[in-house]
Structure 1
Amino acid sequence: MNSIPTFTLNDGNQIPAFGFGTFQIPADGSTQKAVATALRLGYRHIDTAAAYFNEQEVGQAIAESGIPREQIWVTSKLWLQDYGMAAATTGIETSLERLGLDYIDLYLLHQPYGDVDGAWQALETAQKAGKIRSIGVSNMTPKLWEKFIPNFTIKPAVNQVEFNPYFQQQPLRALMAVTDTRLEAWAPLGQGSSQLLHEPLIEQLAAKYGKNAGQIILRFEYQSGVVVFPKSVHETRIASNQDIFDFALGDDEMTALVALDQGHGRHDPDAPGVAARLLGAFDVHAQ
């Protein structure tokens, strides 16, 4: 197993460049099992959220792993329902309790709607109190970034957004460069897009390097300075996903992959009605 490299965030913390995502893994024992497998295979970065309803199983897997806490990077996220200073303060405590942790390495505002400023203030306060090491945002487009980020005293260490070779977020990355904010990719494999996985250039590179298409995509993203955490519940895939640190794509190959960018993804946070739809999607207090 190759050791996983880190990126330095704008607050000085070192985040593992590669991790394990738990979105849509149910809390019926599946999350605990998948995270335990990932940790056993060498992963040291786990991404969850209040709205994934599986923080407790993530915490169980970490507690039972025998790995020292400081060696595991844990990310979770605050749901819209808990925005505003007071509600967010409670939401942070709830995440800590469910995870069974004294601190969370990275805590994000999951969606950029509602009382974002109040929620961010709660994150800043929790960071100063040592309950969160790094704070960040998620799903912020250039438009939303320019609306909210100028108001923040502490600039986000991370913005977690949709990112893959077909949607490379170039205008957003230019804005984020000003605050040295790191991009994290959700759907780094295009949510299993058959078109992306069978993209001729990616298939050619896979054949050249003796890798699969997913590994070429994840390597491209890593070399682009993006934090990735693909999700799988299958041990062979969990193992193969992280097997991307024993080769490097050449500059011309990176340039060719950059040219695959289509400039848009599946999710548009700026679209009308998205905020209302997400706020009514489920009740994180019903756990």
Structure 2
Amino acid sequence: MSLPKTFPLRAAGGKTIQIPSVGYGTWASGENSWAKDAVVTALKAGYRHLDCAWMYGVDEAVGQAIKESGVPREEIFITTKASFWPHFGHPDSVDLCLDKVLANMQLEYVDLYLAHWPCVWKPASREALQKAHSAHDSTPSDKGIASLEDGKPNVDWEHSAANLAKQKGKKGSFVPTWKAMQECVKKGKAKAVGLSNFSITEIEELLPHEDDVPISCNQVEVHPWLPQSEIVAFGHKHGIVTTCYSPFAGQMEGGVRRLEEAKVVELAKKNGMDGGQLLQSWAVQRGTVPLGKSATPARIKSNLDIRKLSEEDMEVLDGLAVPNGEGRTVNFTEAWGVPLFTV
């Protein structure tokens, strides 16, 4: 049986646009030649949803791939973010980050623009942001990032989510940055705006400020080992689409890929699928949008071939969840010294 090819996404003025139910992720694509070839392959295989971010350093490659693919721009749903390391998170800088993306991709607009993190870092300077570039081999200085002596980020608590600032004994609010995101829609640079890596508490801070431009999306890590059921249900309740990065869950201890776990292999074989297809199908069947990534043409193609699973198989995959968020692939709180992913 078939699964939906698109989901409705709330946009400005009470309108609804369609977001393809399976996206192609471009994170960690490395050098531009790799990214360009992979995106061309994805588009020719039938993908119509590309998930990007300024900090991934592949905007130029993605723009070149779109042109080379021959697929009309209006048929492609493009998501980008302000930006992986959140030094573009100040309300005065989100527009600048989007301008960089549009220039590098040679586009007039993106379909969805996300605030990448609920915390904001201080940049080196406005001039540094204007000159910043995100090539895969660029340094923090090249990116316009200001770090403290211990290498930790210089956090702008005033413009970080209230939930995070409070834990540090500070006062903060993400509302000004959210309003700046909304202005990008009003200027025609984005069709919709949303969030990424926001907890329910952090989303609730912004719900009273949707006005005419709603919170369309929240992108978080989701896979059977980290199902994020509570935040997915919250999204459904409030009309916020959940898009899922790292849908294949990375590696377990010892370097074994979770895709190679016995239950996954067994269910994939039972359904005539490979592991990637199985996990992407599970995600779409839950009403979420997986953003799988591969460099292998055969995998790129198969990851798009989603099919409806039995309720029994869905329950088996649901049963893979591990407690206390231990299924998360990267502990950004530990890496950054900022209390992310808290309720």
Judge same fold: TM > 0.5, yes or no. yes
Aligned length: 274
SS in 2 for 1:102: coil
- The two structures, once aligned, show a CA RMSD in angstroms of 2.4
What's the counterpart of residue 207 of structure 1? 269
> How much does 1:141 deviate?
2.1
SS in 1 for 2:63: helix
The amino acid across from 1:138 in the alignment is S
What's the counterpart of residue 30 of structure 1? 34
Q: Report the TM-score when normalising by structure 1.
A: 0.87
What's the counterpart of residue 168 of structure 1? 227
1:11-52 Cα distance to aligned partner (Å, 9 max, x none): 311000112111111233111111111111111111110110
Of the three residues 74, 90, 97, the one matched with 2:103 is: 97
The 8 Å contact of residues 141 and 270 in structure 1, kept in 2 or not, is answered as no
SS in 1 for 2:111: strand
> How much does 1:211 deviate?
1.2
SS in 1 for 2:287: coil
1:144-202 Cα distance to aligned partner (Å, 9 max, x none): 33444444444321111011000010222233233211111110000255352233332
The 8 Å contact of residues 103 and 130 in structure 1, kept in 2 or not, is answered as yes
Richer in helix (by share): 1
> How much does 1:241 deviate?
1.4
Where structure 1 has 5 or more consecutive residues not aligned to the other structure, the ranges are: 278-287
What's the counterpart of residue 5 of structure 1? 5
Counterpart-to-counterpart distance in 2, 1:142 and 1:268: 18
Please list, as runs of the form range in 1=range in 2, the aligned pairs for 1:174-185 lying within 5 A after superposition.
174-185=233-244
What's the counterpart of residue 198 of structure 1? 260
Q: Report the TM-score when normalising by structure 2.
A: 0.74
> How much does 1:252 deviate?
2.0
SS in 2 for 1:191: coil
The 8 Å contact of residues 162 and 267 in structure 1, kept in 2 or not, is answered as no
What's the counterpart of residue 120 of structure 1? 178
What's the counterpart of residue 236 of structure 1? 298
The 8 Å contact of residues 333 and 339 in structure 2, kept in 1 or not, is answered as no
Please list, as runs of the form range in 1=range in 2, the aligned pairs for 1:47-86 lying within 5 A after superposition.
47-79=51-83, 80-86=86-92
What's the counterpart of residue 283 of structure 1? none
Identity of aligned residues (%): 31
The 8 Å contact of residues 43 and 69 in structure 2, kept in 1 or not, is answered as yes
The amino acid across from 2:230 in the alignment is P
> How much does 1:255 deviate?
2.1
The 8 Å contact of residues 36 and 65 in structure 1, kept in 2 or not, is answered as yes
What's the counterpart of residue 136 of structure 1? 194
The 8 Å contact of residues 163 and 186 in structure 1, kept in 2 or not, is answered as yes
Where structure 2 has 5 or more consecutive residues not aligned to the other structure, the ranges are: 121-158, 160-173
The 8 Å contact of residues 138 and 159 in structure 1, kept in 2 or not, is answered as yes
SS in 2 for 1:118: helix
In the alignment, is residue 266 of structure 1 matched against residue 266 of structure 2? no
Counterpart-to-counterpart distance in 1, 2:336 and 2:291: 28
Please say which of residues 191-200 and 267-276 is displaced more in the overlay: 267-276
1:65-106 Cα distance to aligned partner (Å, 9 max, x none): 221111011111102111222211211211111111111011
Q: 1:276 to 1:95 in 2, by over 3 A?
A: farther
The 8 Å contact of residues 220 and 254 in structure 1, kept in 2 or not, is answered as yes
The 8 Å contact of residues 35 and 58 in structure 2, kept in 1 or not, is answered as yes
Please say which of residues 185-194 and 8-17 is displaced more in the overlay: 185-194
Counterpart-to-counterpart distance in 2, 1:276 and 1:220: 30
The 8 Å contact of residues 22 and 280 in structure 2, kept in 1 or not, is answered as no
What's the counterpart of residue 317 of structure 2? 257
The 8 Å contact of residues 178 and 206 in structure 2, kept in 1 or not, is answered as no
The 8 Å contact of residues 3 and 284 in structure 2, kept in 1 or not, is answered as no
